[in-house]
Amino acid sequence: MNNQLNHIIHTLFIFTIIILSTLTEGFAVNHAEEKRKNSFTPKAYAIRYWDRVIKNNLPKPSFILSKASPLSATDAAAFEKHAAANTLSTKLPEFCSAAHLFCFPNINPQLCRKPVLRGLGTNIFKGYGKGVDLDNKFSFDNYGFTNPFKDYAKRGISFGIYTKSSSTNSVTSLVVEPGKFFRERMLKEGTVMPMPDTRDKLPPRSFLPRSILIKLPFASSKLNNMKQVFKVSENSFMEKMIVDSLSECERAPSKGEIKRCVGSLEDMIDFATSILGSNVTVRSTENVNGSNNNVMVGQVKEINGGNVMESVSCHQSLFPYLLYYCHSVPNIRIYEANLLDPKSKVKINHGVAICHLDTTAWSPTHGAFMTLGFGPGQIEVCHWIFENDMTWTTAN
């Protein structure tokens, strides 16, 4: 009896080992297959491109890798074929959803006058391609992005520098947010200063894979083709959005400026390295903590030893896919600083600030001079890098 029982137990043990071995082998095969598939995604390609073009081993910041296309290899290949055949519009809802784009109904801009929450209410951009909450209509003007990328020299700093846009060009109607601009001497440990609202007000989107991007029209002369791809109606909000972004991308550069609009991570890498060389890194403020409150400056680090340098700054444009306006910024110093709660002295953020040392060509009515006094060429002007904006520099 004992012999039979021992035999049964032994048989069951062997059977269990075989089953577990089979499951483990299957898991390993599936894991390897998943890893193989992931290595062909647009994001994986962008990472390999980064490694090939940028000649250093510095960590790749998660804030920029998170903007890479989320498309699978299969979806990317399928949508690329549609883009090449000019049939992408037939798959627009699927494309917008899978590629994490900003697609919405063609609302007449004249209807978009109801104020909306600064944080873009939770239902406004829900579903990408399924619609917009018409009870919380998005207004381009409400966010101060009527001309979202105003050049430094003539019309003011970019990325919607004023808290409220004006229907007129009157300087007195502009309100400059406290802390938007400050002097370089403020970047000293122990300084308490107001922090502006650094939160990104634009809808979340992702870059397109370069393989798809190069097959899509992008020029004012091809506006009708662009409207066909994204199913844009005449005189709609989306048409205004596309026209305004194209206008800024195509305007002549300011004196000494080199500029380019980029819609893929690879294009951004190419532009940054074309200006700064292959040994580069990219920075942005860590989070939005401290916005609209006072912060205390903690430990400060001068980038590149505090030497005057050139950078490439990139600011978002409102567009169906993630589009950045990138431009060279000469004669600057860049700082990193821990930002603390003034009461508890606990670190709440890690800010990146850029100080423009030569303001000679800036307009006398620039918001910085309205806030700080003085005039063009008389002072340096500093500001924080806002959420989802970034600055490229040579690596230390």
| Per-residue confidence (pLDDT) for residue 161, from 0 to 100 | 30
| Per-residue confidence (pLDDT) for residue 121, from 0 to 100 | 28
pLDDT < 70: residue spans in the chain: 1-37, 105-174
Could you give the 3-state DSSP secondary structure of residue 79? helix
Please name the residues in contact with 92: beta carbons below 8 A apart, sequence gap of 6 or more.
Answer: 103, 129, 229, 230, 231
Beta-carbon count within 10 A of 69 CB: 29
pLDDT digits over 26-76, tens only?
A: 544 343 444 445 789 999 999 999 999 999 999 999 999 999 999 999 999
For the record, the structure tokens of 296 come out as 């205390």
pTM (global) more than 0.85: no
Contact 125, 103 (CB under 8 A): no
Supply the DSSP symbol for 155.
T
| Per-residue confidence (pLDDT) for residue 101, from 0 to 100 | 97
Q: What is the C-alpha to C-alpha distance for residues 114 and 135, in angstroms, rounded to an integer?
A: 9
Q: What is the C-alpha to C-alpha distance for residues 91 and 239, in angstroms, rounded to an integer?
A: 20
pLDDT digits over 278-324, tens only?
A: 999 999 999 999 999 999 999 999 999 999 999 999 999 999 999 99
Residue 294's identity, in one-letter code, is N
| Per-residue confidence (pLDDT) for residue 222, from 0 to 100 | 97
